[in-house]
Amino acid sequence: MHDHTGFKERIDEVLVRLADEEERTLLGLHAELSPLSEQLRRSLADGKRIRAAFLYWGWRAAGQPDCEGVIRAAAAMELVHAAACTHDDIIDGSTMRHGRLTAHAAFAATGQRSTALAVILGDLLMGYAGHVFSSCGLPGAYLARTVPLWSALLRETMAGEFLEVLRTGTGPAQTARTPQVAESLEVARFKTAKYTVERPLHLGATLGGGSPALHRVFSAYGLPLGEAFQLRDDLLGTFGDPARTGKSNLDDLRDGKPTALLALTVAAAGDDGRQLLAELVGRSGLDGEEAAAVRELMEACGARQQVEDMIRERIDRAVAALDAVPMPAEARSALGQLAGTAAERSL
């Protein structure tokens, strides 16, 4: 069994050292940068380190040994994630993540220009990602061959975010756009599947000199698993217990986020159900009782179960893909284990 706890601790150590080093550097520039260094540290404090794990096991699947250089390279994926989350929280207006204030909400709580400062933090985190990766200690020739993948990862992630914003309702003033399952999965593929699973695996395999066949298998594994990850996130965003997830279960409904869950509900609901959705979903003032009515409809029309079925089918497809190419048994086992932990998170 893959010791993910031990792996996570190694990634955390890299990120803590970075936060310590950058705090000294930032405060050396100016004492008033203290709130920036504080939020930098908070942004890196939590997380399951799933993206780092996929890069690491992409490397190991290519036949390479464990080393500190690949741990540092893997940690860069968590900086990409922290940057994306910082910007995503601004876009969504989310105030809680991992049970604590998001960066822009924390800045606002101290009376500062919250959005502007959080945007700067997100940009800084993305810059640190490149620095940590390029200075990881692996041979320069290994790093050079990943440059196109870094460009692809950032392009695809931003494309997914952009498409989601375009397709998200913001209330009654916006012309209604009926959510579609295919469109939701398209966003999930760009915004989540590629940067969470497929591209980290490709980066690890490319660093390790993996074959084209291994890259193809990682796409066949990573894309359905990444979609399953996002589908689970959609369920958590609506049905999750905030005390366990650390974030609100109202934000997706208030924003009218075009999730597959919502699309399936719209398709299966009768006229009365669609009227209820039209009145409540996308309304910024949606309260707990109204959200409960939407959840009840999602349950009653079978949409929630359909999403659960979609998750299971994608996990099965991802795990089956691993059999298509030879790889070290430890890597195959770890990737099979990660498939379950990544998409079967608790509500």
Convert the pLDDT of each residue in 246-293 to its tens digit: 889 999 999 999 999 999 999 999 999 999 999 999 998 999 999 999
Average pLDDT of span 106-132:
92
pLDDT, position 346: 59
pLDDT, position 340: 87
Could you give the CA distance from residue 10 to residue 12 in angstroms, rounded to a whole number? 5
pLDDT, position 118: 95
Res. 110: pLDDT tops 90: no
HSE-up of residue 27 (Cα within 13 Å, Cβ side): 11
Task: Supply the pTM of this predicted model.
Answer: 0.94
Average pLDDT of span 124-129:
96
Residue 271: partners with Cβ closer than 8 Å, 6 or more residues away: none
Q: Which amino acid type is present at position 22?
A: E
CB 125 within 8 A of CB 278: no
Three-class secondary structure assignment of 83-100: HHHHHHHHHHCCCEECCE
| Top-confidence residue, 92 or 55 | 55
Residue of 75, 105, 77, 98 lying closest to 14 (CA atoms): 75
CB 132 within 8 A of CB 166: no
Res. 85: pLDDT tops 50: yes
pLDDT, position 174: 43
Residue 122 sits at the vertex; the CA angle it makes with 166 and 102, to the nearest 5 degrees, is: 85
pLDDT, position 347: 53
Q: Average pLDDT of the chain?
A: 93
Structure confidence by residue, pLDDT tens digits, 148-185: 999 999 999 999 999 999 988 644 434 456 889 999 99
* Percent above pLDDT 90 for the chain: 83
Structure confidence by residue, pLDDT tens digits, 209-246: 999 999 999 999 999 999 999 999 999 999 999 988 88
pLDDT, position 161: 93
Structure confidence by residue, pLDDT tens digits, 290-303: 999 999 999 999 99
Residue of 254, 300, 303, 252 lying closest to 280 (CA atoms): 254
Domains of the chain plus CATH, in order, are 4-343 (1.10.600.10)
Q: What is the DSSP string of 210-254?
A: --HHHHHHHHHHHHHHHHHHHHHHHHHHHH--HHHHSS-SSHHHH
pLDDT, position 282: 92
